[in-house]
Structure 1
């Protein structure tokens, strides 16, 4: 079962690492999201968002192989995915590029739930030391 948690964290990590290219500028953001901010302040925020996704992705990939960090990574990624999905669904009206992001985050959410369930199962079924 622990392999399921590892695989889930790897998938979620990769999903979070994909938008890191947005840090390179507006043309990369346009490719990712179908829109690039022309306002310098919005561009800074979107590029910073790419950096933050890189951090979340790196933590997930690292934690996939470090069991002591798996709950932390699952919680971090869950907060990222759940907040984005809530914002997308509560706002609506997004373009096809963002629809792909929503679909990727639904996949990530399923992986996170499966990974957390597998980790919980593993921890409850492992014998404890006397």
Structure 2
């Protein structure tokens, strides 16, 4: 298997991890499953739905960048900033629930995959 195929596969997988929360934009009820919270506040609903759209954009950007080489650097940087900021914020916040810790661990694993893809593409 070539380095390019491994890197492209990693970009697609990490893109899917980032895009998956996008479902919350269409189904607020999914926030309970994803984050372990009930959303009764309309303002919080708007914020979570908007966050879901932004995550989907980052994920779709990564997936597209797997096939459009000119998009790779911006997509990788955007995804790295997004996931690193979540890891930093969630990791430094006391009292987060198990679902938030699960998402944090998933982002750490995805960051490793993203770093590996970037390193493979740079070689």
Q: TM-score, normalised by structure 1?
A: 0.87
**Dislocated runs of 4+, deviation >6 Å:** none
Aligned length: 121
Q: Could you say which residue in structure 2 is the equivalent of 1:56?
A: 58
The alignment's C-alpha RMSD in Å is 1.1
Shift of 1:37: 2.5
Q: Where does the alignment leave 5 or more consecutive residues of structure 1 unmatched?
A: 122-130
Cα deviation digits, residues 82-120 of structure 1 (max 9, x gap): 000000111132111112101110111101110111111
Shift of 1:24: 2.3
Cα deviation digits, residues 25-70 of structure 1 (max 9, x gap): 4311111111032211111000000111111111011111111111
The equivalences for 1:1-130 within 5 A come to: 1-121=3-123
Q: Choose 1 or 2 for highest CA Rg.
A: 1
State how far apart, in whole Å, the 1-side matches of 2:18 and 2:92 are. Answer: 21
